[in-house]
């Protein structure tokens, strides 16, 4: 949870995945996306009749037997590949093989509020532990809030097998001495000899990401805490692409190595736009750059529908973009986290009073998403709250992905959050 915004809210609260994947690929266990049960059926037993023949005819029969046997083996192998291997490579719609056939490049999961039993075996903390356990050379972690013992232990295990592990966090987290879970997790990390760098400034280091082996990135709205895992609505995305990983690695080095945070960081991103097959991935970091500007451009280009989920939405220019699109006939639907949405800074009342289909969240915990889905094709997500502080002061990340299948996963989550909100109003 974003303590700097809602410091008065208490935060109360892993299983194995449905299948085990190679370490180089993300775990395919999306929280709201059904994962197939994998397994191959035994082939029916076949009994060959014994033929008592000799000479050339006997040799021909033996050759035929061998041919039949090898054919049966080939069929069995094909069945196993079709039933087990291909589904693991394809995953679900939100964890698909890209059009060029180079392997699954993203994996989306959503928190399931209700405690560990509600999300097992697809809990976000379990996925992160698997992500860390798969690291073989390097692991960099930048996270705002941190209290998960299992994640700290996974980081320590990685260090013990000679993976270079480094961490960046917010000074408020380190200074949170009253929270024993936070301090316990930090002790495990420090005890493993893992260096931790704090931002040491008034604005916040609000990122939530991990980079492994220069190839895999885990990011989203999810802090590495029990509350974010078991009580809050959150998203977590794993991406497999060395160019995207290079973007996040540079951002991490700005903070860890150069000790630069917020607007003082270098504004250069190695690969700002990455094409993967027919998909496009934009990487944006605050606050050396302002992610609200490219986001506003995408919103202004909408022609049919905009869905959004907003923990904090106080950014007037983004609100203006939604109002302009609604006046042009675009359907706008959105859910605000209830806490803070009634303040004079929030865009909630302005959008509601203009007739847009916006509502307050119904989750008894918090709706912690920061996401837009535009025309069922473009998805913007990450740590970036829709606020001036996030744009101009904090350390944040925002990814904008153009990919219809990717967008469908977030639209499904938006449908669920909207349904929870409407039920709360009906009560």
- 370 has catalytic annotation: yes
CATH number of the CATH domain containing 196: 3.30.870.10
pLDDT at 51: 30
Round to whole Å and give the CA distance between 396 and 207: 5
Structure tokens at 211: 């980079």
Least confident of 47-56, 197-206, 389-398: 47-56
pLDDT at 133: 98
pLDDT of 72 over the 70 cut:
no
- Enter the DSSP assignment of 123: -
Count: domains in the chain: 1
Q: Which candidate in 133, 179, 253, 375 is catalytic?
A: 375
Please report, rounded to a whole number, the percentage of residues in the chain having pLDDT higher than 90. Answer: 74
pLDDT at 15: 38
Q: How confident is the model at residue 427 (pLDDT cuts 50, 70, 90)?
A: confident
Residue 298 lies in a domain: yes
pLDDT at 121: 84
Residue 245 lies in a domain: yes
pLDDT at 4: 43
Q: CA gyration radius for the chain?
A: 25
- 375 has catalytic annotation: yes
The residue ranking higher by pLDDT, 75 or 118, is 118
Residue 295 lies in a domain: yes
Phi and psi at residue 138, to the nearest 5°? -140, 150
Q: Which candidate in 368, 369, 393, 395 is catalytic?
A: 368
pLDDT digits (tens, 9 = 90+) for 251-268: 999 999 999 999 999 999
Residue 113 lies in a domain: yes
Residue 256 lies in a domain: yes
Closest by CA to 208, choosing from 232, 225, 188, is: 225
Domain of residue 331 covers 106-426
Cα-based torsion angle of the residue sequence 276, 281, 283, 289 in order, rounded to the nearest 10 degrees: 130
Q: Which candidate in 290, 370, 395, 403 is catalytic?
A: 370
Residue 167 lies in a domain: yes
How many alpha carbons lie under 13 Å from residue 266 in its C-beta half-sphere?
15
Residue 56 lies in a domain: no
Residue 303 lies in a domain: yes
């Amino acid at each position: 949870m974003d303590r700097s915004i809602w410091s008065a809210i208490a935060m109360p609260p892993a299983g194995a995945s449905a299948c085990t994947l190679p370490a180089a690929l993300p775990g395919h266990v999306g929280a709201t996306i059904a994962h197939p049960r994998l397994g191959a059926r035994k082939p029916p037993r076949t009994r060959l009749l014994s033929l008592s023949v000799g000479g050339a005819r006997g040799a021909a029969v033996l050759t035929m037997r061998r041919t039949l046997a090898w054919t049966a083996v080939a069929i069995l192998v094909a069945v196993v590949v079709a039933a087990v291997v291909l589904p693991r490579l394809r995953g679900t719609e939100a964890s698909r093989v890209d059009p060029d056939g180079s392997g699954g490049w993203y994996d989306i999961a959503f928190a399931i509020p209700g405690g560990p039993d509600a999300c097992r075996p697809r809990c976000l903390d379990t996925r992160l532990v698997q992500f860390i356990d798969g690291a073989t050379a390097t692991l960099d972690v930048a996270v705002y809030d941190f209290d998960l013992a299992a994640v700290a232990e996974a980081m320590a295990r990685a260090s013990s097998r000679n993976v270079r592990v480094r961490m960046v966090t917010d000074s408020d987290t380190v200074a949170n001495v009253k929270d024993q879970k936070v301090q316990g997790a930090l002790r495990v990390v420090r005890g493993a000899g893992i260096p931790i760098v704090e931002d040491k400034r008034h604005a916040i280091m609000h990122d939530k990401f991990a980079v492994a082996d220069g190839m895999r990135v885990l990011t989203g709205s999810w802090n590495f805490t029990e509350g974010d895992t078991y009580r809050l609505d959150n998203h977590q995305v794993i991406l497999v692409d060395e160019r995207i990983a290079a973007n996040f690695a540079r951002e991490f080095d700005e903070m860890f190595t150069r000790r630069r945070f917020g607007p003082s960081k270098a504004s250069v991103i190695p690969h700002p736009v990455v094409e993967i097959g027919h998909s496009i991935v934009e990487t944006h970091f605050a606050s050396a750059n302002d992610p609200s500007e490219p986001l506003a451009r995408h919103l202004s280009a909408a022609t049919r529908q905009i869905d959004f989920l907003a923990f904090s939405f106080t950014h007037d220019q983004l609100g203006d973009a939604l109002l302009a699109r609604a006046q042009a006939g675009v359907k706008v639907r959105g859910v605000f986290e209830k806490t803070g949405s009634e303040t004079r800074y929030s865009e909630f009342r302005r959008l509601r009073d203009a007739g847009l289909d916006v509502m307050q969240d119904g989750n008894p915990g918090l709706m912690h998403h920061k996401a837009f889905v535009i025309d069922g094709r473009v998805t913007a997500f990450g740590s970036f709250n829709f606020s001036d502080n996030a744009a101009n002061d904090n350390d944040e990340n925002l990814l904008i992905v153009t990919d219809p299948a990717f967008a469908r996963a977030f639209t499904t989550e938006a449908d669920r959050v909207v349904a929870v909100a409407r039920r709360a109003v009906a009560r």
